[in-house]
Amino acid sequence: MTKTNEEVRSEVRTSYAEIALGDTSCCGPSPTQLGYDATELAGLPDEAVMGLGCGNPVALAEISEGDTVLDLGSGGGIDVFLAARKAGDTGRVIGVDMTPEMLARAEANTARLGIENVEFRQGLIEDLPVEDATADLVISNCVINLAPDKAAVFAEVFRVLRPGGRMMVSDMVTDGPLPDSMKDDPEAWASCVGGAIPLTEYLDSIRAAGLIDADVLKQDGPGPVFSVAVRATRP
């Protein structure tokens, strides 16, 4: 990759700002293809169901009443709102996203739902605006592939999780190195391909951050680029 991390983030931000300001995605995979159940989506605003994910981390996360949950790259808020139902009034869900237009969309969706146990914060997932050891669970849906510094993301996940806290993420990975041309192509990055790394490297990066029991719960594929659901725990 010949671009700086900030150049990559800026291009990704521009793409997602356009998506946030547009209509709900018409041509991506349907929510059911991504693993959502029609009944769980009932009651969510259409503007929250944008078809931008690559799995359903909330369904696999085993969220309990009272949990504090953090969603990395929360987009229009779909997984924040689903997690909020499970965390209940005594729990809290925080969505972090770097794109102001996406945060505005998520805030508007929160107002439509009239719920109070969610909060959206602007920030990078490589430098989370969240205090140390405060989250029971970190979830994320198709976002870490978009981050140019994945080691920093997993180090941040370790920092914000309480000891014993868990990470449950859906993401895109590869079965080998991508061609260099793709790693420099802004459209390939924004469509969750250009920044995807080999699954083995992804798991190694999670372990290098100090998280344990890194495990693939679900996987589409085989590759060359496929979605996975990965969990890990802070010891």
Ligand X SMILES: C[S@@+](CC[C@H](N)C(=O)[O-])C[C@H]1O[C@@H](n2cnc3c(N)ncnc32)[C@H](O)[C@@H]1O
Q: Which spans of this chain sit near ligand X (rule: CB under 6 A)?
A: 9, 12, 16, 50, 52-53, 73-76, 78-79, 97-99, 102, 124-126, 141-143, 146-147, 192
Q: Tell me how far, at minimum, the Cβ of 125 lies from ligand X, in Å.
A: 4
CB of 50 to ligand X, least distance (A): 5
46: amino acid identity, one letter? D
The Cα 227–Cα 157 span in angstroms is: 20
Cβ(229)–Cβ(168) under 8 Å? yes
Closest distance between ligand X and the C-beta of residue 1, in Å? 15
What is the rounded distance in angstroms from the CA atom of residue 136 to the CA atom of residue 61?
11
Q: For residues 35 and 91, which CB has a smaller minimum distance to ligand X in the complex?
A: 35
Comparing every residue's Cβ against ligand X, the nearest one is: 75
| 8-state DSSP, 145 | G
Question: Residue 9 or 86: which CB sits closer to ligand X?
Answer: 9
- Best CA proximity match to 81, nearest among 24, 119, 50, 52: 119
* Residue nearer to ligand X on the CB measure, 102 or 203: 102
Specify the residue, 130 or 163, whose C-beta has the smaller distance to ligand X: 130
Q: How far is the CB of 145 from ligand X (least distance, A)?
A: 8
CA 227 to chain centre: 12
Q: How far is the CB of 229 from ligand X (least distance, A)?
A: 13
Alpha helices per DSSP H over the chain: 5-21, 31-34, 38-41, 57-60, 78-87, 100-113, 150-160, 180-183, 186-190, 199-208
Which of 35, 73 has the CB closer to ligand X?
73
